[in-house]
Structures are given as C-alpha cells and as structure tokens.
Amino acid sequence: MTTTPHSHEIALIPGDGIGPELVDSAVRVLTAAAGSDVDLRFTTEDAGADTYRRTGAALSDETFTRLRGYAGILKGPVGLPSVRKPDGTEAGLLGGILRGGLDTYVNERPMTLLPGIDRPLRSTEDIDYVIVRENTEGLYLARGLGVGNDHACADQLLMTRPGVERVVRYAFELARRRGGAPADGVRRVTCVDKSNVLRSYAFFRQIFDEIGEQYPDIERDYRYADAAGHDLVANPSHFDVLVMENFLGDILSDVGAATIGGLGMCPAGNIGDSAAYFEPIHGSAPTIAGRDLANPTSQILAAAMLAEHLGEATLAGRVRAAVRAAYASGHIRVLPNGSPASGTKAATQAVIDAFDS
C-alpha cells in the first residue's frame, strides 16, 4: 500500500545580504530530510530592503495577502544599512509589518548548546531553554510613534490583558511539552520583568500568576530582568522556559546567544493562531554576502521549527539530530568570528551527509 506524503505550501522570503544563501541552505537540508515522506512546496516571495529599493515598499499588499495563505513562512534576514527612508531610518525591515499584520504574538527563541561549541562560561552543564518573547505589544509597540523635540522624547510601553494572557499561556503549554530544565529536570516557567520599578511589568507578573495557577504541574519562577541577564550566564542550566515583554526578550535573547556560540546558532519562530514565520535572530551581514562565510545553522534550525509547526515532528527531529551530529563529529566547526571553518556550503553539506551516517 502506497502512502500519500503530507503536502505543505511554504513561502520563502530570501531577504537581503546573506539571507538568500542561508535560505537556500535551509531548503536543501529540509528537502533532503523530507525525502519522499513529506511533500514540501516552496514559493519565493519578494520582500525586504532590496524590494524597498526597487519598488518603494518593503512588502507589497498583494504579497502580504498571499503570505496569509501559506502553511508557514521561512524568512531570511532582511535589511541593508544603505537603504534608508526619507527620514533617515532603515528601510526594508519586516518585523513591524509581519508581526503585527499576521498577529504572530509569540516570538519563540530556543537556546541550545551544541557539542563542540566553545563558550565563555564557568558552568559545564547543558544549556537548553526557550525564551518566549511577547511579540506585538510592550515597548516596541511604540515603533515609529514616539513623540519628542530637541529637548525631550518619549516612547510608550503598553501591555494589554489579552496580549499578556495569550503569551503567558503559550509559555506554560510549551513547558508541558518539554523535558524540563537541564539542571534538575523540573518543568518551569520563569517570569522576567521589572515589576519592582514599573507598573506595566507588575501587571505582567500579576497575569503570569493568574495563568500559572491553572498549571499546577509547572513550577513558577521569577527574575527581575537584570538578575535574569546575570543568571543566563552564571546558571543557564536552571532555565526551561522564560516569558517576558517584547523589549526585554530582544535584549536577553542576545545574552543567551553569546553563551551557545553566537547569533548564528539561534533560530526564532514568530507564531500566532493563524500564521507563523521562522527566521534567524541575526542580521543580514551584507559585508560577507556571497563569500561563503555565513553560518547556516540558525536558518537550518529555523526550518526545523517550521517543520514542527507544520505538524511534522519527525522531520523536525531529523533536522535537529543531523545538525547536532555534524557538530559532534567536527564536520562543522565555528571560528571565533562566527563563520563555519569550512564555509557555508560545506557546513550545509555536512548536515545533509549526517542523514546517512
């Protein structure tokens, strides 16, 4: 009896700088992992800084409408320092457009230490936690809306009850699916805030506790943001899932990245109830574009997150296992500057070869 493979329509946004070569790497790996078991159908969509330079818009209305219809979106890094709006700010960025437009209210950022990675830490324990960053509210809701003059400026930090409730609930549900913190195996969610100073963060913590009471099987944990920055370096194995406001999540995920080999190791998922897109957390690095110097790991792991979102857990697991094997064998080795020692293409092939090892 022949089984018909699952079919998924996926949008690709190659992006700018190193984006196209990274997305190509991820597609090659995902396709190799899927084989004949999963039918992945890719369509490239035009968006980003180069799109803005050519058309005057980072993303057309027609493209945005099509993006809503895909099962998932795999996006490369976007942005070019030379492409600016008339007011001087950088053009072609998609975060504000896609996160708000698609209502992808969760930014999920796994932090996992792979074998063979040097890290500037005293601790020798495993690092395997997820930062859940609220993605549509908080301080970044003021993007482009701040008010000011030559003497003063102000940006507003806004949190709503529905917005906090849904991201906190997502964090607790995620913790239920995970195996707990590396240090002790305890499933826990850590609330990160500045509730000792700002009323908005006290509001966030209050709702965290209300939702947390519905999950008696998950330990509730708390850190002020400054203490969290310290402990993500000093005791990272304590953490399982951390949930926080938009701005804090942006900052602390980069702190976490430094402990697992840099930004080139870190994927992210932007996830809502009806749409999702997946990407690396780093920028487009145009100075190394086309030179076979970019680390494809974050983009490949973003593709694994996409596969999991599509319900293809086996496919996602194959990709992650192959990445881990390629690092464990030494076939991928990351230089101090973040580039793979053998180059982008060879690193990609090392992951593909690991499927057969």
Catalytic annotation, residues = 140, 194, 226, 250, 254
Strand (E) or helix (H) holding 151: none
Task: Compute the Cα dihedral for 308, 310, 311, 315 and give only its sign.
Answer: negative
Q: What is the DSSP letter of 4?
A: P
Of 124, 163, 158, 122, nearest to 139 by C-alpha is 158
Give buried/exposed letters for 200-221 (b at 16+ CB in 10 A, else e).
Answer: bbebbbebbeebbeebeebbbb
CA distances from 86 to 56, 90, 141 (A): 11, 9, 22
Is 245 within 8 Å of 164 (Cβ atoms)? no
129 in Cβ contact with 242 (< 8 Å): yes
User: Residue 121 and residue 234: Cα distance in Å, rounded?
Assistant: 7
